[in-house]
A and B are shown apart, each in its own frame.
Chain A
Amino acid sequence: MNPYVLSILLMGLGLGTTVTFASSHWLLAWMGLEMNTLAILPLMAQHHHPRAVEAATKYFLIQSAAAATILFASSTNAWLSGQWDIQHITHPLPTVMITIALSLKLGLAPLHAWLPEVVQGLDLTTGLVLSTWQKLAPFALLLQISPEIPLLITSLGLISMLAGGWGGLNHTQLRKVLAYSSVAHLGWMMVVMQFSTSLTALALLMYVIMTTSAFLTFKLLKSTDMNSLAMSWAKTPSVTALAPMMLLSLGGLPPLSGFLPKWLIIQELTKQELGLVATVAALSALLSLFFYLRVCYCLTFTSSPNNLAGVAPWRLESKQISLPLATSTSLSILLLPISPAILSLTLPLF
């Protein structure tokens, strides 16, 4: 893509999230969300093939519908209460409408059906931006309105965990697996939002790190489905050794860092006497763990039938910058021993 256009689009993406973060007026927050939607569209369609254009179209329609609902709900709130402040939204009707619109923007169940198809149509880099950066701005708004509708947010979280776990089970395409993993992780973030916004932010931070590592790993291996993972041992043995750790961290296994948010969330739920919710959450994590384990199996734990070591592929130097992958993989494996320090990163949000 023309580098000037690319830089304008990326700056638009950055500005959109910044504007939503900095806003206290619903119109300005909406403006930031629209900027994000607009700026990512050419990035999605940049490869000009029909699947990418289809993904961009679906994304645009869904996000526009959600943004229109936000505009409508904030106007209704302005009519009913006379003010546009984000944190002073109290009437249940606009609050519920805005929550549903924001969950459509994020891809929370039961409004998650667009996410696997859109991520599947994109290349891995744009899918990464979609799964990480585009989640931040709606999250900022949800964190501010969550005290008003705790039951709705907890229900959305529970349904998302189950839908993400069950939905991701029978796939071979890695991008769809990562989309359902996104749904499930968003569920974990929602479930604790009414009790501790700092734990929600911690879960979001850990999810961003782990999913960055996942997308970058698959990009390095140039693989988008599980079959093409099979020969990665011959291409990059180090990645083949570390990637299962990163994937199991996504699944929430101790002693990897992905365990940290799940552990603290279950602890908080138990303290708040929501033992059943905590149990359902833990059991739904098993569903997600199964499909992460299946990817690990294809990647590392088994040798696929193929011409063996005698015809190993050329190990050409990859042009991908390895620092982001190295950093995010290390972080997604090794953070558990310094949990108090990691927790203190998000404590100011409480």
Chain B
Amino acid sequence: MVYMTYLLLIGLVLGLAAVASNPSPYFAALGLVTVAGMSCGILVGYGGSFLSLILFLIYLGGMLVVFAYSAALASEPYPEGWGSWPVSTLMLAYVLLVVCVSVFFSGGWFEGSWVTVDEFSEFALFRGDSGGIALMYSSGGGILMLGGWVLLLTLFVVLELTRGLSRGTLRAV
């Protein structure tokens, strides 16, 4: 189990470094898909199976797919992946950064192990993720409504910014 989590975490960090190392959007979207998939696996490993399912469906299956289609529409003639020198240099730099930061944060009383989401899993029926979601709909109702309003605001912002086709804000000038 530890080995599985280890593999997923490595995949997560590599995927993030792939996104951040400035390749063309195709490969960046691939990196994001990898990150989402790996992090869902890690979540399942720590007992957050419902949250993982929601993440897979909505984030990966909804938003990332839309982003991938948009990237495909804005196609580049010469996409840059890890083969090109600047991208791979940045990639190595980010991996090095992660190593340094993890060395800084390891040690201490928990000796390099990471806090789990799912404490007392053998003794509790009330798991972290589903308990949190239940709270979000009950005592956290106001914040849920606020979050919904913020999402609606984001929709209006995006619609206003992209309104007008070739006469609007975002146009090739």
Contacts and interface: CB of A to CB of B under 8 A. Distances in A.
Interface string B135-161: 000000001001101100110110111
Nearest to B164: A48
A254 to B, nearest CB: 45
Given A8-B153, A39-B153, A31 B147 contact: yes
Contacts of B149: 15
A2 B157 CA distance: 12
Nearest to A1: B160
Contacts of A3: none
Contacts of B156: 5, 8-9, 42
Nearest to B147: A31
Interface in A1-35: 1-2, 5, 8-9, 12, 15, 19, 28, 31, 34-35
Contact of A79 (B115, B153, B161): B115
B124 interface: no
A41 B164 CA distance: 16
Given A28-B143, A31-B150, A79-B115, A39 B169 contact: no
Contact of A38 (B115, B157, B167): B157
B170 interface: yes
Contacts of B168: 48
B157 A48 contact: no
Interface residues of A, number: 24
B143 to A, nearest CB: 7
Nearest to A27: B143
Interface in A39-72: 39, 41-42, 45-46, 48, 50, 52-53, 56
B103 interface: no
B99 interface: no
A43 to B, nearest CB: 9
B157 A31 contact: no
Given A8-B156, A79-B115, A42 B161 contact: yes
Contact of B161 (A8, A19, A45): A45
Contact of A53 (B143, B147, B169): B169
Most buried by B among A15, A28, A34, A42: A42
B4 interface: no
A41 B147 CA distance: 19
26 contacts: A5-B159, A9-B156, A9-B157, A9-B160, A15-B149, A19-B146, A34-B150, A35-B153, A38-B150, A38-B153, A38-B157, A39-B153, A39-B157, A41-B157, A42-B156, A42-B160, A42-B161, A45-B161, A46-B160, A46-B169, A48-B167, A48-B168, A50-B173, A52-B169, A53-B170, A56-B161
